[in-house]
Amino acid sequence: MRRSLMAVVALCIALLPPVAGATDTTDTEPQVYFFWSASCSFSRSALSFLQGAQSKDPKLQVRDFEVDNSLSNTLLLGKVYDKIGLPEFWVVPLIVVGHHLIIGYNDAETTGRDVLNHVAECRKTGCKDMVRDLIGEPRTYDEASAAASVKSTICTSLQRQP
């Protein structure tokens, strides 16, 4: 599982190359998208980190999407994984900063540092926001049909190779 997760993360990074400059961005302040589950301890740790980071940096913009109690948030999580080519891989927490993906969460010193580094990079060079276009206007849908198509999410820490 550990090597599989690292392979998936590497694939995600390869599929989403960095943007050359700020010309392809819509903002210089990146949006941090945070998909999480209240029943996942790693998600709760990531949420605590992001809230603390926001209190230290008021410019930090975090949009959170709790997936346990929101069908629309869960469907959006599925759209993100579809976009990166992993339609069957529904893992939380998932943090997206521009074109950077962080799947899972360990702690502030490792995963948290990675998030803040991605934010700093996007502030400096610009990053294309890969999630913004996936967030649509609220739509009417058959909740029973939509709920039947939703997969279970998996809670995980970020796995690093030694």
Average pLDDT along the chain: 79
Tens-binned pLDDT, residue by residue, of the chain (162 aa): 444 444 444 344 444 444 333 334 345 799 999 999 999 999 999 999 999 999 999 999 999 999 999 999 999 999 999 999 988 888 999 999 999 999 999 999 999 999 999 999 999 999 999 999 898 755 545 454 455 455 667 787 765 444
> What does the pLDDT look like over 52-72, one tens digit per residue?
999 999 999 999 999 999 999
Neighbours of 55 (CB within 10 A): 9
Q: Is the dihedral of CA 84, 89, 90, 96 positive or negative?
A: negative
- φ, ψ for residue 57 (rounded to 5)? -135, 90
- Sorted by where each starts, the structural domains of the chain and their CATH numbers stand as 2-15+27-155 (3.40.30.10)
Nearest-angstrom CA–CA distance, 80 and 74: 10
Phi and psi (nearest 5°) for 4?
A: -65, -45
